[in-house]
Structure formats: C-alpha cells, structure tokens
Structure 1
Amino acid sequence: MNKIIIVLVLALFLKPILPVIDYVVNYDYISKVLCENKSKPQLKCNGKCHLMKELAKASNDDKPLNSDKKNTFSQETELLFCNEITDIFVAQIYFYSKKPTQCTYSNLYSHLMSNSVFHPPTSFFSIS
C-alpha cells in the first residue's frame, strides 16, 4: 500500500517536469522537425517554442475546470441572531455618608545600624 502511495505522489510531482524531460530526450527531433522557427536560425530557438507550448498545455491541464469560467456568481449571506431584551433591571443606588474612622499610625520599622565591617566565617576545611 505504501509503495502505491509513493508512486502516486512521485507521479504528481513529476507531471509538470515531463515536458522538459521529453524535450531533453527528443532534442534533435524537436529542434529539426517540430520547431516553428526552424526557418529562422538567427533566433537560436532549437525547439524551445515547442517546449513552451507543451509547458503551457501542462499548466492548463493542472487548472481546475471552475477557474476557466469568468461569469461565476457567488452570493454571501450574513445571518445574525438577536435576542430581544424584555426585562430591564435598574439597580438601586444608595447614597450614604461614611464617617471617618480614627486610626493611629504606628511605625514598627526598626533598623540596626552597625559600623563594623562584615567578615564571612572561616572554613573548617582547608583546600589544597
């Protein structure tokens, strides 16, 4: 099953390259027989005109059929759902005055000021 999928994927990826491979394999035949500009050697076409036609044909085959229609009509409809508001609730607002509360500020912050320089503890083990 996996081999079939791999073959199909490779075929899809290689389909646009097939005209180029055909051009390379049959270069002599295309440049001498199928080239449209073989009577004008100064253009140095060498069958590239045939290659361009084949590439255009391959790219047109890849387009979906709906992209060729120019008179497509599309209609968009926007659907909105609204709930009708039936009840209106008005909150009662009470105005009252607050009495200021008496509070005293107590500063509980303490700071220990020390003029001595901090020395880290000495280690018990010496590293040599």
Structure 2
Amino acid sequence: MAFAILYYSFDNVAFTEKYCENKAKPLLKCNGKCQLAKLANENKTEQNETVNFSLKEIVLYFQSITNTDFLVFLPQKSTIISKKNSYRFALSPFLFRPPNARFLIS
C-alpha cells in the first residue's frame, strides 16, 4: 500500500495510465484514485486477519566461535641502578691481604 501511495504521488500520470479502471470515462477525472481506494480496502481486510503464532516455526541458528589466543607483552618494572644504591657492604670473616711481592733488581 505504501508503495502504491508513493508511486501515485510522485508519478501520477504513469500511475493513472497503468492502473486506472475508468479509462473509458475520462470525465470522472479519478486519476487513479479508484485503484488507491481498492488497495486501501484490501489492506483493511488483510489487517483484520489474526495470525496464529503457534503454527509458526522458530528457526535457531548456531555458529561455532573460534577462539584465538593473543600474546600480550606487559612491560615489567625495571630497576635503575644509581650511585646511591650501587655500593654494597659485605662483611668478610677474614682479612684479605695481598701477597708480598719482591722485585729483584739486577
């Protein structure tokens, strides 16, 4: 019905030539309104019909989903070595003395 109304309003001449029932009586000047009235009456009768939904078939669609693993690299906190924390004291139980070196001069 909506298509017929749009067709009638945009191209009245073509609609009248194609669908008008009163081509033999141009003095009536219906210009296709007779066909629009007929379509409107058909739509009223179609709207009055009830639809039985229990007879309808329910279609379910299942699509398997493919899992894709992604590697994620997260930045780790890095330690910055500065002059303040580069010194480490290690208490040694023995005292290290370098060996005595004797140079022979001849």
Instruction: Give the TM-score taking structure 1 as reference length.
Output: 0.34
* Structure with the higher fraction of residues in helix conformation: 1
Structure with higher RCO (Cα < 8 A, 6+ apart): 2
